[in-house]
Amino acid sequence: MKFKDIEDYRKNTLNVVVSEEKIREAVKKTGQSLNEIYDGTPLLLVSILKGAFVFLADLCREITVPCEIGFMAAKSYYEGTSSSGDVTITMDLQQDISNYHVVIVEDIIDSGRTLKSIAEILKGRNPASLRVITLLDKPERREVDFKADLSLFTIPDLFVVGYGLDYAEYYRNLPYVACIES
Ligand code: IMP
Ligand code: MG
């Protein structure tokens, strides 16, 4: 469902789930630990579009070791708030990842289907190593067995928007993570 008009958009109340300040602190800390782990090794940060673009943009600016950025896109959610169950890669990496230490940077793990299949695909390409970092994790919603190496925030079973995450393509530009009060 899209919004009927601007009034329809504005009437929604957003309740903060993770504040801008908490995100900033956690992203900074994550960047610092990546700098220690990957000091001097060829690092490739792989972001899954579109949801992870804000997280990647902030995280990569905390990285002080040499790193490259790559993008993939996968579809698992269509409009609305429920998963279709299928995952399709709609955009792939350009580079051969066999020389890289790869870090997947994701916005959220919900059912776990998207990351499980992307991680399997990338593992099959023999990277030097593979780690998965997610901004948000909703462990209560897991449908497949998958765990990130690092989750910055664990949240309850709520549909959230902001900091890259959308509802029908809206709200990606919010600087914090919120849920929509209905
Ligand atoms: P999964 O495959 O079910 O783990 O989730 C895949 C994708 O669904 C995530 O990368 C998000 O793009 C989207 N998604 C899951 N939960 C939410 C949410 O609460 N808000 C917005 N998007 C979500
Ligand atoms: Mg996503």
- Identified catalytic residue from 96, 110, 137, 145: 110
Among this protein's residues, is 110 annotated catalytic? yes
The CA 54 to ligand 2 mean position distance, Å, reads: 11
Kindly give the confidence (pLDDT) of every residue in the chain, 182 residues in length, as a single tens digit, with 9 standing for 90 and above. 577 778 888 888 899 999 999 999 999 999 999 999 999 899 999 999 999 999 999 999 999 999 999 999 988 754 455 555 567 899 999 989 998 999 999 999 999 999 999 999 999 999 999 999 999 999 999 999 999 999 999 999 999 999 999 998 999 999 999 999 87
Ligand 1 pocket member 136 (CB < 6 A): no
Residue nearest to atom 12 of ligand 1 (CA): 51
**Tokens found for residue 123:** 């593992």
Beta bridge partners of 99: none
Residue 7 parent element (H or E): helix 6-10
